[in-house]
Chains A and B, each alone.
Chain A
Amino acid sequence: SAVISQKPSRDICQRGTSLTIQCQVDSQVTMMFWYRQQPGQSLTLIATANQGSEATYESGFVIDKFPISRPNLTFSTLTVSNMSPEDSSIYLCSVLGRSNEKLFFGSGTQLSVL
């Protein structure tokens, strides 16, 4: 299984500011994804992070709010822009394993917006 390091693990931010979350994988992976888990809810896919091109966003998520970078096959960032309390969630980086079957998750970033 891939080892996924995600940071920060948690942060408390002020309304209107932005936070960038980093995801580092210990091996090259083709597919990387960003999920959100709102309090008491299950996981919702935000976008697929594409290496060398713009991310592919799911319905309800836009690049201006959640810009994503993927400069290489082991690293990605997700920025939560112009935050509001509704953005308080756990944000999870995930990668598809070498068998292209299992999805592995980073430890997550617990974000609280005041």
Chain B
Amino acid sequence: GQNIDQPTEMTATEGAIVQINCTYQTSGFNGLFWYQQHAGEAPTFLSYNVLDGLEEKGRFSSFLSRSKGYSYLLLKELQMKDSASYLCAVTSGGGKLIFGQGTELSVKP
């Protein structure tokens, strides 16, 4: 079966660092995506990991361990505008993505 788990919601303080975890069990694996979705808007691409390790892109970093079926998204220097839902998604190829339920992040002043 296909299973992608992430926490339902998290709260963090402006200026802090937050880590959003994602574990997956899928029948195939070509890569893992993280998307950001603000309320009422479409998801926007944040990162794509294929190999083990950390990918850093500005304030956002994403880590992947294929052997452990585990990824995390790290957000640094949190801003109020980072309040959104963060979606972990796995692809087994062909452009098809399986999404987790999403983590609703609330950034407080």
Q: Which residues from chain A sit less than 8 Å from chain B, CB to CB?
A: 1, 31, 33, 41-45, 48, 92, 96, 100-108, 110
Contacts and interface: CB of A to CB of B under 8 A. Distances in A.
A33 B95 contact: yes
B87 interface: yes
Contact of A106 (B42, B45, B89): B42
Contacts, number: 46
A92 B42 contact: yes
Given A101-B31, A101-B48, A102-B48, A33 B96 contact: yes
Contacts of A107: 41-42
A104 B48 CA distance: 12
Contacts of A104: 45
Interface in B35-91: 40-45, 48, 87, 89
